[in-house]
Chains A and B, each alone.
Chain A
Amino acid sequence: MNAHVQPETISLDQLPLGSKALVASIDWDALDHGEACRLKHFGFDEGVAVEALHQGPFGRDPIAIRVGRMTVAIRRKHAGAVRVVSTTK
């Protein structure tokens, strides 16, 4: 293991459908209080497993994400605050 090799992160809205990932970091300041609260309620946290499942038929927005054992719908704009490391090869 090399300490200076950082795994490559992408933002959650860039995660391809059907791919799994681990949450690397969340930019809470990019969200307003209510939005941040809701994401915490959904269980978004560093190290949590997520999976991109579906996207809306118009403009590919919103997206459905499996987080832990639940599935949630969020807009791409908000998903942009979550950085993930893809675990799907």
Chain B
Amino acid sequence: MTPLPLVAVAGSPNAGKSALFNALTGARQKVGNYPGVTVERHSGRLILADGRPVEMVDLPGAYSLEPASPDEAVTRDVLLGKQKGERQPDALIIVLDASNLDNHLRFALQLIELGLPTIIALNMIDLAKRDGLELDSAKLAEELGVPVIETVAVRRRGIPELHTALDDMLSAPRCGVHEHAPSDLVRLQRRAREIATSAVISETPVRRWTHRLDAVLLHPIIGPVILAAIMFVMFQAVFAWSETPKSWIEDGVAWLSSVASHALPAGMLRSMVVDGAIAGVGAVITFLPQILILFFFILLLEGTGYMVRAAFLMDKLMHGAGLSGRAFIPLLSSFACAVPGIMATRTIDDPKDRLTTILVAPLMTCSARLPVYTLIIAAFIPNRTVALGIGLQGLVMFGLYICGIGGALLAALVLRRGVLKGGGGGFMMELPKYQWPRLKDVLLGLLQRAEIFLKRAGTIILGTTIILWALASVPQAQPGQKQSEVSIAGHIANGIEAVVRPIGFNHEISLALLPAMAAREVAVSAIATVYSLDAGDNAAGKPLVEQLHHGWPLPTALAFLAWFVFAPQCISTIAVTRRETNSWKWPLFMVSYLFILAYLAAGVTYWTAKALGL
């Protein structure tokens, strides 16, 4: 069977390439990864008028065949037929921003030189007109020697014409492909400017929307204030809007768990399905609403063109820590959860900047630490006012957040001086025109994020929760014995205890550390379980806060808090790091450096508290 004809959609960033790809393929898309690199491969299918299917692939945006980022290297390799996991395309659709021809034509000229059958989509022609630019697409076609079709992808204008042109092109006999000789960018650029100038019929200078908006949004004082306001709304939404769908998911998980409990006979299988798989994966997918809301905002900020402005405003501050402005949104997102934060680092072009951001993202205080912080603070920090209505408990909570941020900036600095030294294209970005993204494109992006997250929940997270369950359930306790003591996990806890005793951790904490790997807040329920088992009948009614208050010395409690500021206590984060870095090397590095940090922080806290006689 001959494979379907493969048509690649190529173009410079901000040409509206993805919108055009979506308009051509609809929702029939697959998102995968190119082998060996963390560059996403978007593919889809298009059906021609006569029913012939065509495979379409959306290449990463590139400015030229001389790559300055891993994305651009993939684009070049696919086009030259050198990319692993991809055959050379049979034809090309080049997407150009009609109002930026001077620049975008350079890449187009380079691509036309390759000799593949090519169509040009002169996109966003409406915005060019709005800016007072009148273009002659027939003249452009004549100069370039390939068909040029005017399109407005977000309104589906020009899409039928593109179908027809594609049909004609794929029906025509094919010529050979030229070898790509390294081209002189400057020469191409000059030729591009000539052609662009010749294709302009008239140009009326108008005050452009983008310039007016930038005057406000990039204003040295108003700009940061607006950014802070947008971030505030975003975080309110992530926490407030997610409550209801989160409770639906929790109800659904509870329902599924009771159905499974009734359907399966009591025993190991039931325990594995209910306590292991359903409880473990259930705990993780409750994050789905938060992730989707966060990504809704990120996609909207990306689509409108504001994201690059946010990076512009924050670049100097991030640069101080050896990061780029691009790291701002992923790190901020990590306050909700490091998983979407790490997924959001895909917007960072530079591989070393991106890796540094991934490695420090878990230090941002995520929402899963809140239950742990709240419990320990309620039990050990007196609820009194320090000054001016500022409570001591709130102050400690704030301090823990500051510790996380400080730790992240410091870690970034050290990483950039050490293992991730050098490189870094600095901060060079195009500030695209502002525009409203099509809601359908945003929703499609959201659907793809959800799919990626759920796939992981179904594989890596399912696997690890089952392993954790097995460790906690085997061998089974005899009557009179405690499951938590007899199990392999119990024995491991004894081992852990030997290591963590010097930093003041007791047996209960050691027992909670292992299940807390599934998700940090599980530490709270694990400690609760241990205490309820140990306490017997007389203390069973006492709240956990009181039991801890009487059971733990203060230095231990403080050390426990310090531990949770740094510890990489979350399988999902490790799993997403594995996926995003495409290797085990970096997640292992991350886990080790964070554990060492956590151990030292807890130790220093414990020893200092002891020395102070607390």
Contact = CB atoms under 8 A, between A and B. Distances in A.
B552 interface: no
A15 B318 CA distance: 24
B218 A64 contact: yes
A74 B186 contact: no
Interface string A31-66: 000110111111101000000011111110110100
B103 A68 contact: yes
Nearest to B69: A34
Nearest to B350: A34
A72 B429 contact: yes
A73 interface: yes
B267 interface: no
Contact of A43 (B189, B221, B428): B189
A75 B426 contact: yes
Interface in B457-515: none
Given A38-B425, A69-B100, A70-B103, A64 B430 contact: no
Interface string B61-79: 0011011110000000000
Contacts of A45: 186, 189-190
Which of B67, B101, B218, B311 is most buried by chain A, counting CB atoms within 10 A of its CB? B218
Contacts, number: 110
A73 B66 contact: no
A42 B193 contact: no
A62 B319 CA distance: 10
A71 B325 CA distance: 17
Nearest to A44: B189
Contacts of B431: 64, 70-73
B430 A72 contact: yes
A62 B317 contact: no
B152 to A, nearest CB: 18
Nearest to A33: B68
B99 A57 contact: no
A56 B426 CA distance: 15
B224 interface: yes
A43 B103 contact: yes
B218 A54 contact: yes
A64 B308 CA distance: 11
A56 B317 CA distance: 10
A34 B319 CA distance: 18
Nearest to A28: B186
A28 B561 CA distance: 51
A56 B428 contact: no
Interface in B171-223: 185-186, 189-190, 193, 210-211, 214, 218, 220-221, 223
A58 B317 contact: yes
- Chain A interface size range: 20 to 34
B427 A57 contact: no
Contacts of B186: 40, 45
Contact of A73 (B185, B223, B429): B429
B68 A41 contact: yes
A64 B214 contact: yes
Given A34-B68, A57-B224, A73 B312 contact: yes
B86 interface: no
B90 interface: no
Contacts of A73: 308, 311-312, 315, 427-431
B275 interface: no
A9 B452 CA distance: 52
Contacts of B319: 61, 75
Contacts of B106: 41, 43
Contacts of A71: 210, 214, 430-431
B313 interface: yes
B425 A56 contact: no
A44 B9 CA distance: 26
B55 interface: no
Ranked nearest first, the 7 interchain pairs of A and B with the lowest CB-CB distance are A41-B63, A58-B316, A57-B220, A71-B431, A37-B68, A54-B218, A40-B185
Interface of B: 63-64, 66-69, 99-103, 106, 185-186, 189-190, 193, 210-211, 214, 218, 220-221, 223-224, 308, 311-313, 315-317, 319, 325, 425-431
Given A37-B68, A40-B186, A62-B312, 17 more contacts: A41-B64, A41-B68, A41-B185, A42-B430, A57-B220, A57-B224, A59-B316, A62-B427, A68-B102, A68-B193, A69-B102, A70-B103, A73-B315, A73-B427, A73-B429, A75-B426, A78-B428
